[in-house]
Amino acid sequence: MTIAGAGPTGALLALGLARRHCSVILQDPLSQEQIQARSRAYALTHSSRRLLERLDLWEPLAEHLIPFQALRLEDQELHRVVMFGPGDLGGANRGVAAIGWILDHQPLMALLFDRLRSEAAVELRLASQRSPDAAGSRPDLEIACDGPGSPHRKQWQLPLWSRPYNQGCLTLKVRLRDPDPQLAYELFRAEGPLAVLPLGDRTFQIVWSAPLARCQERASLPGPRLLDRLAGVLPAGLEVEALLDQPCAVPLQLSLAPRLHQGHRLLVGEAGHRCHPVGGQGLNLCWRDVATLLDLVEGHASAAVPPSRIARRYGRRRLPDLILVGLATDALVRLFSNRQPLLLGVRRIALALLQRSPSLRRLALAAMTDGPLPHHR
């Protein structure tokens, strides 16, 4: 099998396939150092926890996983707050003392590359422009994990439905003064949602959505002026001490490839879909792609099933989850980035119901942590 793209999704998939006795070629035009050097963090939910446990990666990453035991959902327009805690978890997640975890990109990739280099079934072709399509005899599966601009998706002429948002996303890491180290924030503001995610040692990842031009302007500001702008939108009690990295502004879009396969070729991760970062669904959605494909490969290991059938089943299984999460995140952004009186009333009612109903909080948290479909939970 060949995989294009050695980021978190491609590397994790390569490791999972190698553990299932598949020979894998993992190719990326960037070097290992360039891939690992990215400054970003990921919010992991319980579906990702189970996948990492399954691949024996959870314990080795334990010292880098920053749990958050509470999530503060705040509508800053209506001054309404809903708190989620471990008691709102249900099913197989009940009893776990964390709603989710924040994991920095660099230790994750360092561990993945270390494990990949110890797998005899994996051939790494990093810093290579050579396409897996040219890798000799045709592989059983050709998998594109090469991101939202996927050259392989374009080469294979697979269609992509895409709708840009009028928002961009500004990411930066900051140090706060005396924060609660196990509390994460999702703040709904008129210009777009803002997430504040704990990284340990008073370090927090900020994911700040706003009109793209405004994000780009903020990214170009001198550090002190940017921190002044940020201080003006953070909740009371959160005080910024220092900027810790170079802010990055990127455009946001909702996109989906209506066909995730073509014969023996597959789109996995952001090569096939993207959603708004509200709720931290992005990487978890990509890793549910990985889990589904590993299930299919493992389930058909003892049968002579054509690779094209595995690819077709993968596409059928993943599309409902991708569509529902995409629609849900889109609806949240449109509802909470809007000042129309009617929608303000809808928001007021929805937040009041969440505040008063443990059952609704469990349902909402189940959808956020394990996906909206029951078989993912």
Query: Helices in the chain by DSSP H: which ranges?
Result: 8-19, 32-36, 46-54, 105-117, 151-155, 212-219, 223-231, 282-299, 307-336, 341-356, 358-370
Quote the pLDDT of residue 95: 83
Quote the pLDDT of residue 203: 94
Measured CA to CA, the distance from residue 248 to residue 168 in angstroms comes to: 10
Quote the pLDDT of residue 326: 94
Measured CA to CA, the distance from residue 145 to residue 32 in angstroms comes to: 16
Q: What is the DSSP string of 49-118?
A: HHHHHHTT-TTTTGGG-EEESEEEEEETTTTEEEEE-GGG--GGGTT-S-SEEEEEHHHHHHHHHHHHHT
Quote the pLDDT of residue 303: 66
Quote the pLDDT of residue 340: 87
Quote the pLDDT of residue 139: 72
Residue type, 281: Q
Count Cβ atoms below 10 Å from residue 287 Cβ, excluding itself.
Answer: 25
CB 2 within 8 A of CB 142: yes
> Which tokens is 334 given?
């449109």
* Unique residue bearing structure tokens 């990666």: 57
> Which tokens is 102 given?
């924040």
Q: What is the DSSP string of 2-29?
A: EEE--SHHHHHHHHHHHHTT--EEEEES
SS3 state at 203: strand
SS3 state at 318: helix
List the pLDDT tens digit at each of the 377 positions of the chain.
Answer: 999 999 999 999 999 999 999 999 999 999 999 999 998 899 999 999 999 999 999 999 999 999 999 999 999 999 999 999 999 998 888 888 899 999 999 999 999 999 999 999 999 999 976 654 444 556 789 999 999 999 999 999 999 999 999 899 999 999 999 999 999 999 999 999 999 999 998 999 999 999 999 999 999 999 999 999 999 999 888 999 999 999 999 999 999 999 999 999 999 999 999 999 998 899 999 999 999 999 999 887 666 778 889 999 999 999 999 999 999 999 999 999 888 889 899 999 999 999 999 999 999 999 989 888 765 55
The distance of Cα 59 from the centroid of its chain, to the nearest Å, equals 20
> What DSSP state is assigned to residue 264?
T
- Ramachandran bin of 178, using left for φ above 0, alpha for ψ from -120 to 50, beta for the remaining angles: left
| pTM reported for the whole predicted model | 0.92
Cα 114 to Cα 36, 107, 117, 118, 142, distances in angstroms: 12, 10, 5, 7, 23
Quote the pLDDT of residue 129: 65
